[in-house]
């Protein structure tokens, strides 16, 4: 899940009360969601450290589907659009993220529960590490 190298990244910001939600996408799909309380920065400044050698451009149309998915998640509703992703992860990390996404809205699971769901009943710490590096909080909560 390390920083992806793409020539140009398209950023956008959504503000909901004190929460700033920063979106980054490439032409291939969603790269990352960042969260910040109170402190508002433009989205390019927010992502500069993560993507230091990449041109960052404010662009809503290329983040529209991701923005819709985030807004649906915040309203506790399923997203009607399909978001393509453009981040790398291991097959295990992807399995965990897909499993997390299947947990019904309003329900929670422990890392131990998720570990059992992916066939690694003693892997709660591994699940925690995947979630610590999760590039799409709110989409894979």
Over residues 38-87, the pLDDT tens digits come to: 778 899 999 999 999 899 999 999 999 999 999 988 888 877 778 999 99
The structure's pTM equals: 0.85
Gyration radius of the chain over CA positions:
15
77-123 pLDDT, tens digit per residue, is 877 778 999 999 999 999 999 999 888 878 899 999 999 999 999 99
Phi, psi (rounded to 5 degrees) for 41? -130, 160
The DSSP bridge partners found for residue 56 are 9
Q: How far apart are CA 31 and CA 28, in angstroms?
A: 9
């Amino acid at each position: 899940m390390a920083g992806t190298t793409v020539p140009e990244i398209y950023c956008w910001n959504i503000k909901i009360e004190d929460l700033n939600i920063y979106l980054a996408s490439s032409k291939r799909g969603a790269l990352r969601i960042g969260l910040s309380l109170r402190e508002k920065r433009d989205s390019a400044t927010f992502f500069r450290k993560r993507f230091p050698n990449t041109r960052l451009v404010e662009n809503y149309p290329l983040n529209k589907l991701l923005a819709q998915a985030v807004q649906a998640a915040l309203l506790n509703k399923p997203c009607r659009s399909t978001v393509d992703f453009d981040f790398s992860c291991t097959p295990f990390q992807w399995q965990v993220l897909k499993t997390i996404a299947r947990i019904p809205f309003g329900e929670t699971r422990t890392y131990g529960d998720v570990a059992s769901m992916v066939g690694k009943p003693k892997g709660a710490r591994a699940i925690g590490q995947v979630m610590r590096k999760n590039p799409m909080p709110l989409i894979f909560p």
